[in-house]
């Protein structure tokens, strides 16, 4: 179910559209510091992985206040990028699930498919299971689920809390995680539907 998502062109084409909607919502809100108009100030991103994701993954949407005395940056939340990681958010999420649940042969195929080292996959597992559960966002948002998410089984236990097929669950999880992808103030995302 999840391995096919790494080659799901529809998923990787949909995520930039969601980011555009999130960016437009942030732009309409104006500068959170002075209320001024926000101008486009997107910046380049260079992702790793053997996957060809296209030009929509070569930049991060961002804005700069047009106010002469302000000029502060606002970077809206993203479902394409998981913070500063050099792999696409969907790749980190899905690969972490697959790496934690597959046989040694499946893990080897995963590393080859993505061009990800075993150390990188181990680092992602550590982040999901040790660092993310301590994150202030998770401490606040983890209680939104009717059925608790098992931190020792992250991110699979998080995906299991969303409804729909594998693609829908990944998109819902990335939308849920979007607030941690930016440090900009007033960049918020609605939770959407949480399952179970």
pLDDT in tens, 130-166: 999 999 999 999 888 999 999 999 999 999 999 999 9
User: Residues 96, 128: contact at Cβ < 8 Å?
Assistant: yes
| Cα-based distances in Å from 65 to 22, 36, 60, 68 | 17, 6, 16, 8
pLDDT in tens, 104-132: 877 888 888 888 888 999 999 999 999 99
| Cα-based distances in Å from 85 to 11, 31, 49, 79, 91 | 19, 26, 12, 12, 11
- Going by C-beta distance under 8 Å and a sequence separation of 6 or more, which residues neighbour residue 27? 38, 63, 76
What one-character DSSP code corresponds to residue 186?
Answer: T
Return the pLDDT at 185: 64
Q: Which of these, 87, 111, 107, lies nearest to 99 by C-alpha position?
A: 107
Q: Classify residue 25 by burial, with Cβ atoms within 10 Å: 0-12, 13-18, 19+.
A: middle
């Amino acid at each position: 179910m999840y391995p096919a998502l790494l080659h799901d062109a529809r998923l990787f084409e949909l995520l930039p559209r969601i980011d555009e909607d999130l960016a437009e919502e942030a732009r309409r809100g104006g500068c959170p510091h002075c209320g001024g108009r926000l101008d486009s100030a997107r910046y380049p991103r260079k992702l790793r992985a053997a996957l060809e994701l296209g030009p929509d993954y070569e930049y991060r949407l961002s804005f700069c206040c047009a106010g002469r005395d302000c000029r502060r940056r606002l970077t809206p939340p993203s479902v394409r990028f998981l913070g500063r990681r050099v792999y696409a958010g969907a790749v980190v999420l899905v690969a972490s699930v697959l790496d934690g649940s597959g046989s040694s042969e499946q893990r080897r195929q995963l590393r080859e498919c993505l061009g990800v080292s075993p150390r990188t996959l181990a680092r992602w597992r550590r982040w999901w299971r040790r660092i993310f559960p301590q994150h202030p966002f998770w401490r606040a948002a983890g209680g939104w689920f009717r059925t608790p998410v098992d931190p020792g089984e992250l991110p699979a236990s998080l995906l299991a809390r969303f409804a729909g097929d594998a693609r829908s669950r990944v998109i819902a999880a990335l939308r849920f995680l979007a607030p941690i992808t930016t440090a900009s103030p007033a960049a918020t995302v609605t939770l959407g539907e949480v399952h179970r």
